[in-house]
Amino acid sequence: MDKKIEFLKEVIERGMGIYGPEIMENMLKESGIEMDIEGNIIFKTSEPEAMKKFFDKYSSITPVAKMNLQMLAKKHKILLS
């Protein structure tokens, strides 16, 4: 799997814990990201645009989510813009 997608999936998983399903689903929707039943990621806009939007939202609600995002980025060796 693309390492960026792997990273995104792990961020979403943690987000289910930090935010709960309702907020997470809204956040994904508003960022133009969908996940099908098999867990495949579908981008409604361009991948970088959707990811940026999503990560911005994810980090903006609570600093603990921002910290977690940064740590996962480090783990997956992803550079957050």
Which of 28, 33, 65, 78 binds other proteins (CB under 8 A)? It is: 65
**Residue 3 binds other proteins (CB under 8 A):** no
Pick from 80, 75, 81: which is nearest to 10 by CA? 75
Q: Which is nearer to other proteins, 21 or 39 (CB)?
A: 21
H or E, element range at 12 = helix 3-19
* Min separation Cβ 48 and other proteins, Å: 24
Tell me the residue ranges of DSSP E strands in the chain: 33-35, 41-43
Q: Which is nearer to other proteins, 45 or 62 (CB)?
A: 62
